[in-house]
Structure 1
Amino acid sequence: MSVMPVMEPSTARTALRRHFLMCRPEHFAVTYAINPWMDPARGADAGKAVEQWEALRAAYLALGHEVSLIDPIEGLPDMVFAANGALVVGGRAYGARFTHAERQAEGPAYAAWLKENGFAEVLEPQHTNEGEGDFLTLDHVILAGTGFRTDLAAHQEAQEFLGRPVVTLRLVDPRFYHLDTALFPLGGGNVAYFPGAFSSGSRAVLERLFPEAILASEADAAVLGLNAVCDGRNVVINAEATELIGTLKDRGYEPLPVDLSELRKAGGGPKCCTLELRA
């Protein structure tokens, strides 16, 4: 399929109110390793993770966003990473089907919550995908990652169900195993991303689609600075991504740095903790 490039508008940044689903990390732990960030020998402090998560939730509420909560389930320490639970566009929910056995029960849990909370159309996927971890929605297109967690066939499945064009991007660096660790939408048809996370062909696609994109350094990507949430003006971002924060300010955005260092021990940041519910 062909998708015309979308130029970033020159008008002032406008924040749009969003509806997010989050899961309090009451059972957070690092007891297994399913990505390069996880080290069971280091462990994690669940109390500290809850404090950092509460600060993230408070930041969203202070910006005027709505936050709904799904109950955490004991034995699912990664359930805090709500973004992986589904992809919700136009009131329809494309469910998750996790790669690793340790997380597979999360998919049905998120699907059940969505059905119980007004989302009548929830598709149980046939193909492996990890929700908004690998599907990022812009105004007219969905960017979809593959290479580590989400099957290429899931991109077509999501497109058919949601009726939105899906553009495939191949990830090649294991540190950036989900698309949302290497790229985030800025609103207005633009994105920020780390080129080194993508195959050469996918970099060419991004350059063509987003000629005004913000390019992040490897240093900022390596602290999950691109696992950020933008409402069109405000950007909730890991505080350690200092160069990227400066660039966002220069481009007219309002960065809101947060500390999620404890959750990063499992490979998570602000976006990982945040599933957007698009009506």
Structure 2
Amino acid sequence: MERKPGSTSKPQFLMVTPDHYRISYVINPWMEGNINRTALEKAQNQWENLYKIVSGFADVQLMDGRDGLPDMVFTANAGLVIENRVLLARFYHPERRGEEELFSEWFESNGFKVAQIPEGIFFEGAGDALLDCDGRWLWAGYGLRSSLESHPYIAETFNIETLSLRLTDKRFYHLDTCFCPLPKGYLMYIPSAFDAPSNRLIEERIAPDKRIVLDEVEAPAFSANAVAIGETIIMNHCFPSLRQKLARAGFSVVETCMSEFMKAGGSAKCLTIRLDEKAIENREEISTVTSRTVKVTGQLIDSGLMTEMLDIIVNGGGSFRIDELKPGYKKNEVSTAKIEVIAPRDEVLNRLIQKLVRQGATLSGIENGDAILAAVKADGVAPEHFATTTIYPTDIMVNGEWLRVENQRMDGVIVLNNGSAKCSLIRDLKKGDMVVTGGLGVKVSTLSDKSDSGEKFSFMGSGVSSERKVEIAIDRVAWEMGRIKERAGKLVV
């Protein structure tokens, strides 16, 4: 008879038997070159060893795998389970979607309350959603498998604060391959797997002495893909330096070889799912995911502008939904589109809106309003999220009316003074100047009449403009400087 969730005081896990495990397709970098190269008997022995180790600390329920679903053994992706409720997975790759119904049936038959995210939004379960070990909040990954749009549904389903982390390294396609929350507030993770805003968020929540950083040698060993049960951590391999760090924090390590499963991009954590995690009481549903709609008009398709804008959104850490698209059907007819820009936090959304405005987008409908101004606090220092100008004519909205910006130039800021708006270099700013920030109330005319000559965005590819990836580079350098400072290191400029 199956034991119902909550009927024992020991930790509870679910594992899927490996009888049908093999690599028969490629959906992550680890699988490349490994099709039909797994040794089933060896994989079964490795799985059995993991099962025995976990069973020494917890009760483990088993579910039979299914022929034709070789990745079903990676049980962590079945869904997210907190307090007898499960939010089922919606897999990104068609090869795994057959697992969804089977896991749904298992959870329902074992007494769990089952919820599911709407179709078209991807969510890959506990592989991309990890509860803080004290139950204070939930870390949620996106960018490679799970959709950013899934995070508000997670927050609502479990009534828990959900923190969005963007994955940027294709090797670490799920959050649990590079991020392992540990008891007592510790975190074992790979900083290089995340973008700069995500690293800042991690550092805001986790104290420096609680962060256990994995380097480029430890990362490929799937050390972060570990099963933490109390003060015991079960992982594929633990380098001596990492073992020392964990020992100083009060943890003991149990190693068990997972080499056959690593060929498919998974290890110990991927093969298990916790069934009895709990979050703190009196918590609040919070998701910082935010959105804003922009409108763009012009030669969107033949100039490649539409593709360029969508790339800006995705590469900048956001997501999008095209709410309206009216294409021009003839060569000289303009197209119009309304795009909902979705971002994990306000700071990311503001940055994306700025970039889109520089490409000619305007905020749509009731969201348009007067430009937001911020005062310069020191000579030559622009306020945060200042709007950067391009060579194209720009207007800002002041008191409900559009005002043309004078002295238009590349890579300037917009200063409003005595009813006039002018471009200025950052070095020329004076304390007290009022500078336009964000994208609200800013309109750029992109001179669509030049699109036929191929010159429409030629300045962006010249290699001279400081707009090209400068913000990304600055973010990364600033974060690295912070890391060096934390380690009491020295900087030479």
TM-score of the two chains, using structure 1 as the length reference? 0.91
Aligned to 2:416: none
Q: Is the 8 A contact 1:72 1:79 kept in 2?
A: yes
- After TM superposition, which residue ranges in structure 1, 4 or more long, deviate above 2 angstroms? 39-42, 240-246
SS in structure 1 at match of 2:70: coil
C-alpha distance in 1 between matches for 2:42 and 2:238: 17
1:225 equivalent among 223, 226, 232: 223
Match of 2:88? 95
Q: Deviations over 1:33-67 (max 9, x none)?
A: 0000003446211111110000001001122x010
Counterpart of 1:78 in 2: which secondary structure? helix
Residue 240 to residue 213, structure 1, CA distance change in 2 (3 Å): closer
Q: Gaps spanning 5+ residues in structure 2: where?
A: 1-8, 278-493
Equivalent of 1:165 in 152, 155, 161: 161
Report if aligned partners of 1:31, 1:43 keep a CA contact under 8 Å in 2.
no
Task: Determine which of 98, 101, 108 is the counterpart of 1:105.
Answer: 98
**In structure 2, how many angstroms separate the alpha carbons of the residues matched to 1:270 and 1:180?**
10
Is the CA contact 1:220–1:243 (under 8 Å) kept in the aligned structure 2?
no
- The separation in 2 between residues aligned to 1:220 and 1:67, in whole angstroms, is 28
CA contact (8 A) 2:190 2:213 kept: yes
Q: 1:18-44: per-residue Cα shift (whole Å, max 9, x none)?
A: 210001110111111000000344621
* Identity over aligned pairs, percent: 37
Separation in 2 of the partners of 1:37 and 1:243? 25
Task: Give 3-state SS (helix, strand or coil) of 2:192's partner.
Answer: helix
Contact kept, 8 Å, 2:225 with 2:267, in 1: the verdict is yes
- TM-aligned CA deviation for residue 17 of structure 1: 3.8
Residues 75, 160 of structure 1: CA spacing in aligned structure 2 closer, same or farther, 3 A cutoff? same
TM-score by length of 2: 0.52
Q: AA paired with 1:48?
A: K
Equivalent residue, structure 2, for 1:22: 15
Match of 2:64 among 42, 51, 71: 71
Contact 1:94 1:123 survives alignment (8 Å)? yes
| 2:37 is the alignment partner of 1:43 | yes
Q: Greater CA deviation, 29-38 or 238-247?
A: 238-247
SS at match of 1:172: coil
1:202 aligns with 2:198: yes
| Counterpart check, 1:264 vs 2:267 | no
The amino acid across from 2:171 in the alignment is: R
Report SS of the residue matched to 1:27: coil
The question of whether the paired residues in 1 share the 8 Å contact of 2:189 and 2:213 is answered with: yes
Structure 1 distance, partners of 2:35, 2:139, is 35
CA shift, 1:189, in A, is: 2.9
Please list, as runs of the form range in 1=range in 2, the aligned pairs for 1:137-156 lying within 5 A after superposition.
137-138=131-132, 139-156=135-152
Amino acid at match of 1:179: L
**CA separation in 2, counterparts of 1:224 and 1:107?**
26
Q: Deviations over 1:135-169 (max 9, x none)?
A: 00111111000010000111111110111110000
Match of 2:54 in 1: 60
In structure 2, C-alpha distance between the alignment counterparts of 1:189 and 1:94, rounded to whole Å: 25
* Deviation string, structure 1 residues 236-267 (Cα, Å, up to 9, x no partner): 01125443233212221010111010011100
Q: Larger deviation: 37-46 or 189-198?
A: 37-46
Aligned residue in 2 for 1:6: none
Matched with 2:448 is: none
Q: Count the aligned residue pairs.
A: 262
Deviation at 1:124, TM superposition (A): 2.0
Partner residue of 1:122 out of 75, 93, 114: 114
Alignment match, 1:179:
175
Contact 2:34–2:263 (8 Å) recurs in 1: no
Distance of 2:179 and 2:240 partners within structure 1: 16
2-side partners of 1:45 and 1:241: how far apart? 25
Q: 1: distance between equivalents of 2:129 and 2:36?
A: 30
Query: SS of the residue aligned with 2:29?
Result: coil
| Whole-angstrom distance in 1 between the partners of 2:200 and 2:269 | 25
Task: Give the Cα separation in 2 of the matches to 1:41 and 1:101.
Answer: 17
SS in 2 for 1:168: strand
Counterpart secondary structure, 1:49:
helix
* Aligned 8 A contact 1:148 1:171 in 2: yes
Q: Does 2:248 correspond to 1:250?
A: yes
- Contact residue 17 and residue 231 of structure 1 kept, 8 A: no
Find the residue that maps to 1:37 and give its secondary structure: helix
Give RMSD over aligned pairs.
Answer: 1.4
Listed one character per residue, the Cα deviations across residues 73-130 of structure 1 (whole Å, up to 9, x for unaligned) are 11100011000001000111000000001101112211110000111x2012212110
Q: Distance in 1 between matches of 2:226 and 2:10?
A: 16
Q: Which runs of 5+ in 1 are unaligned?
A: 1-15
| Higher gyration radius (CA) | 2
Inter-partner Cα distance in structure 2 for 1:264 and 1:220: 14
Residue aligned with 1:272, SS: helix
Looking at structure 2, the residues matched to 192 and 71 of structure 1 have their Cα atoms a distance apart, in angstroms, of: 31
